[in-house]
Structure 1
Amino acid sequence: MRTQKQRRNQVSRLIIPAKNANLTPKKGIIMSALYQALPAVDKLLKTPQGEQFVAEFGHSATVSVSREMLQQAREHIKRHENLPHFLQTDEATFQYIRQQLLLQQQVNIKSVHNLTGTVLHTNLGRALWSPAAQQAALDAMQGNVALEYDLAAGERSHRDNYISDLLQQLTGAEAACVVNNNAAAVLLILATFAQGKEVIISRGELIEIGGAFRIPDIMAQAGCKLVEVGTTNRTHLKDYRNAINENTAFLMKVHSSNYQICGFTHSVDEQALAELGKEFGIPVITDLGSGALIDLKQFDLPEEPTVQEKLQQGLDLISFSGDKLLGGPQAGIIVGKKALIQQLQAHPLKRVLRCDKVTLAGLEATLRLYLQPEKITEKLTALHLLTQTIAQLQAQAEQLKVRLENRLNADYVIAIEPSEAQVGSGSQPLARIPSIAVTIAPATEKMPTKITALFARLLALPQPVIGRIERDKIWLDLRSLASLDRLLDSLETL
């Protein structure tokens, strides 16, 4: 047990009051002395170091950090009956304050290296913007833009007009509108056409995606009644027909992009459902999810239905995402019949859910890339990553392996291995894309904690490196990496 004198000697000259020098070593008195030894915030601010902090980081931030430090010290004293390490000396105190002030200035949504093998990684921001989209967004941020202004007519226009024109050209739709994500698009459709009415949907399509988007909940929020038909694995056209009544708003299909039901199954295709809708004068609407605008099979990628195919099958409205297979910014896109789009544009929720100028600029630039489909894999970043050859990935892996061997010691074995990547963001969840990864394993079986510790070191880099741990190895999959040069630079500080 430390004596009271030993405890007091830990306290810095800035902190310890001389009047406590003769206290007897009783627990209550010792703790009281320690509490009294804590410096006042204004005293800290009046020191040369405190004044420097105020000048560099601002008065409010310095006061806030100092108060938080002292509160932590009080809690530490209560638990341990001594001063925390950051109050042992003046130097430690000021060093701690500076560290906390610097931490407050760090950006939390920081750039990372994605080596998970999931190209459209929801947790890492989904699709990487193309250079063209980045430049368009930068231009929009740096100045005024013709967002709701018709330059030809010299008068006000609608902010969706430019996007609508492009989508009509690319998909063959009569009209289009844009909101801030696909969940918002579904909500807007339901609120516009089905409030107080019924929406018929197959039980096998009552999906949940992400952390909280559930079709039944969205329908309830929009004030419409969900009518389930069929069973989880089998739904027939007669199930829809038998559920239609005078209160039916529309028939709904949801593309199973983030799940698959296999085996003894049956579903109704959009063309048959569209014909049924026309028979009863009821719209048929589809949530397509990922929303591909080109046939991915030509690139040996997993098949995904295109927006154009679904429109040709007679659907009245289709909603899909802008930041998945489309390869652009986060947005919810709705294409289809002009009369229905006009009703969506007129709904009060449309303004609530609309996109800003930066998103629309990035989306327009992304869509324009599709006007030259022969160059799309070169210019659309997401598709470029998905279509890289194994030889290209192998060449990158060899450079990465050399850099890791130079930075890590003999505790690790570094190798190049075949890997399996995936599209991500719910697109083709069972499909895998051949890839190449650099793996890092412990040199001996007795050091499994080395991998966990190294994974943490990679995450702690100024530009974190995010891979995955499988079979007691770190896998750094090159399929999802945006820039090898930047990765190699980041690893210099490993």
Structure 2
Amino acid sequence: MSDARRLIPSLERLLESDAFADILEAHPRGLVVQHLRTELDRVRRELSDGKGSVVEPGALPRDVEDPQLYAVGVEERLRVSATPSLRSVINGTGVILHTNLGRAPLADSALDAMASVARGYANLEYDLEAGSRGSRYDHCTDLLRELTGAGGALVSNNGAAALVLALRTMAFGRAVLVSRGELVEIGGGFRIPEILESAGATLSEVGSTNRTRLEDYRAGAAKSDPALILKVHRSNFRITGFTEEASLGELVGLGAELGVPVVYDLGSGLLADPERLGLPREPGPAESLAVGADIVAFSGDKLLGGPQAGILLGKAEWVDQMRKNPWCRAVRVDKTALAGLEATLQLYRDPETALREIPVLAMLSASLEVLRERAETMAASISGAGVAAEVIEVTSVVGGGTYPGVELESCGVRVGSREEGADPLAARLRGACVPLVGRVEDGAFWIDLRTVLPWQDTVVVDLLSRHTGP
């Protein structure tokens, strides 16, 4: 008996072999060495029971001394390491604002604008007319004011940051009145009480989970001397049954009575007409400001359909104070997001253009007839490649913590056989060169066409034809 690991060639011998000549020519030597060491460790582990015991040589793979064995392993490691971790995927889940898949896909004009400023320099903080220093916060302000009627506007790098900035500016070291029914978790384990704490404010809970009246806010104010009243839109869940809540208008009236501002965290901030999208009517930024909210906060990458950003709208005096807060620099938005947001907002100047060009709005407003026609074409193409496929009726959801419980009728395609099961197919499609993420239901793989961009239909057909057995 002998230690089988002694048969493994040395690192230098492998590097000098013909099997590694092309690899070293195509890749940096240091990178090849790094992956070769990892591959050698793998082989050593496979030749041992984990305790360093000996193995009969006759039990070893015949090619354990062959450099080609290690070359194949190194090439695969090089390929995997060169594949970007963050990749474009096709969303066939039917969840329009899929947070795990990056929320809103962007309009072509937004992509062009972002690429334009990213390729070189930009007047991010430079006044071209005056030839002197400018402010990055000027670029979207006029458009936001025009579209919403806000007195002032400020853009940060995400929705939670916008809320923290508002709270740190308006309520640092003081109490904030919040209904117990609005102490939501916004995702990632972050909850409104923790956000208030990180902003240096003190939470003053009022009312109960299901019923909070105006009198509860008034009683809470008498006990805590609040700096502001915070209303949080319950965008990712619903409370039904024995419920009651104070309206935004009532809170604005109370705020005026107490001499404290009202901040409304809207969450998604839809600028389009919800009825045109088949959605229930909810107050948007313009409506909330018209009612009298001092500050409204919402995200740019939800129903607005733009890049990730946190948008603050409201009274100019409060917005000016936020701009001067040192925290504003910590959460400032970058040039590409600003360019994409500005291009997206430009589309809203013409509601019809916005519905057509902004992917999220186009998905929401897509008719069932158009979706069925796409599904029939796709199913026929897949079946023509020898793969079982059929058109099915499904339901889409908005996602992204918006419009909970609202379902949209949609059409999709079901593929795969119950004999194989859908899980292996779903795994293969996730591992494809262009990953396809769908739904596994009733022993089959489902694709909802509402969240598949029309130009991706042919890509989906190709993926399913190649990765699904006949």
Distance 1:281 1:343 in 2: 18
Instruction: Pick from 397, 402, 416 the counterpart of residue 427 of structure 1.
Output: 402
- Specify the alignment match of 1:110 in structure 2: 87
Counterpart amino acid of 1:212?
A: G
Equivalent of residue 275 in structure 2, options 277, 288, 297? 297
Match of residue 487 from structure 1: 460
Match of residue 284 from structure 2: 306
Alignment of 1:94-243 (within 5 A): 94-243=71-220
For the residues of structure 2 that align with 1:52 and 1:396, how far apart are their CA atoms? 46
Measured in 2, the distance between the counterparts of 1:404 and 1:85 equals 42
**1:77-476 aligned within 5 A:** 77-79=47-49, 81=55, 87=64, 89-245=66-222, 247-409=225-387, 413-442=388-417, 447=419, 449-476=420-447
Alpha-carbon deviations, 1:410-439, whole Å to 9, x = none? xxx421111100111011120001100111
Mean CA deviation greater in 250-259 or 138-147: 138-147
Cα distance change, pair 402–208 in 1 and its aligned pair in 2 (3 A): same
Name the stretch that deviates more: 85-94 or 275-284: 85-94
SS in structure 2 of the partner of residue 282 of structure 1? coil
TM-score scaled to structure 2, two decimals?
A: 0.93
Offset from partner CA, 1:12-40 (integer Å, 9 cap, x none): xxxxxxxxxxxxx2xxxx3x3x2222233
Is 1:50 the counterpart of 2:8? The answer is no
Q: Deviations over 1:358-397 (max 9, x none)?
A: 1100000000001111322111111111111111111111
Kept in 1: contact 2:236–2:401 (CA 8 A): yes
Alpha carbons of structure 1 residues 248 and 76: separation in structure 2 relative to 1, 3 Å:
same
CA contact (8 A) 2:19 2:67 kept: no
Question: Taking structure 1 as the reference length, what is the TM-score of the superposition?
Answer: 0.89
Q: Which has the larger radius of gyration?
A: 1
User: By how many angstroms is 1:86 displaced?
Assistant: 7.8
**Paired amino acid for 1:50:** F
Q: Quickly say closer, same or farther: Cα 1:401–1:251, change in 2 above 3 A.
A: same
SS at match of 1:173: coil
Once residues 91 and 147 of structure 2 are traced to their aligned partners in structure 1, the CA distance between those partners, rounded to angstroms, is: 31
Answer whether contact 1:73 1:84 (CA < 8 A) is retained. no
Q: Is the 8 A contact 1:86 1:96 kept in 2?
A: no
Once residues 279 and 272 of structure 1 are traced to their aligned partners in structure 2, the CA distance between those partners, rounded to angstroms, is: 11
Secondary structure at the aligned position of 1:341 is classed as helix
After superposition, the C-alpha distances for 1:110-147 in whole angstroms (9 at most, x for unaligned) are 11111101111111111110011011011011121111
- Cα shift at 1:408: 4.6
2: CA distance, partners of 1:489 / 1:305: 43
Report the 3-state secondary structure (helix = DSSP H, G, I; strand = E; otherwise coil) of the residue aligned with 2:49: helix
Q: Secondary structure at the match of 2:398?
A: coil
Structure 2, gaps ≥5 residues long: none
Contact persistence 2:96–2:397 (CA under 8 A): yes
Which of 37, 41, 52 aligns to 1:67? It is: 37
Give the Cα separation in 1 of the matches to 2:46 and 2:207: 61
Contact kept? 1:322, 1:332, Cα under 8 Å: yes
**What is the Cα deviation at residue 200 of structure 1?**
0.8
Q: How far apart are the structure 1 equivalents of 2:49 and 2:162?
A: 53
CA contact (8 A) 1:76 1:83 kept: no
Q: CA separation in 1, counterparts of 2:422 and 2:463? A: 19
Contact kept? 1:417, 1:437, Cα under 8 Å: yes
Instruction: For structure 1, list consecutive stretches of 5 or more residues without a partner in the other structure.
Output: 1-24
Q: Contact 2:278–2:364 at 8 Å: present in 1 too?
A: no
In structure 2, give the amino acid aligned to 1:488. V
Which amino acid is 1:335 matched to?
A: L
Q: Distance in 1 between matches of 2:257 and 2:158?
A: 32
- Once the two structures are TM-superposed, the CA of residue 442 in structure 1 deviates from its matched residue by 2.4
- Provide, for residues 251-298 of structure 1, a one-character-per-residue CA deviation record: whole Å limited to 9, x for no partner: 000001111000100011111101111111111001100110122113
Task: Give the aligned residue type for 1:289.
Answer: G
In 1, Cα distance between equivalents of 2:177 and 2:195: 14
In the alignment, which residue of structure 1 is the partner of 2:46? 76
- Structure-1 separation of matches of 2:312 and 2:61: 58
State the Cα distance separating 1:247 from its structure 2 match: 4.0
Distance 1:43 1:303 in 2: 71
- Offset at residue 64 of structure 1 (A): 1.2
Tell me which residue corresponds to 1:18: none
Rounded to whole Å, the distance in 2 between the matches of 1:187 and 1:279 is 25
Structure 1 residues 276 and 416: alpha-carbon distance in aligned structure 2, compared to 1, 3 A threshold: same
Give me the whole-angstrom Cα distance separating, in 1, the residues matched to 2:405 and 2:64.
Answer: 55
The 1-side partners of 2:206 and 2:408 are apart by 35
Note the C-alpha offset of 1:441.
5.0
Q: Which range moves more in the overlay, 248-257 or 70-79?
A: 70-79
Distance 2:150 2:338 in 1: 19
Match of 2:449 in 1: 478
> CA shift at 1:456, angstroms?
1.6
Displacement of 1:148 in angstroms is: 1.1
Deviation at 1:489, TM superposition (A): 4.0
Residues 96, 199 of structure 1: alpha-carbon distance in 2 compared, 3 angstrom cutoff: same
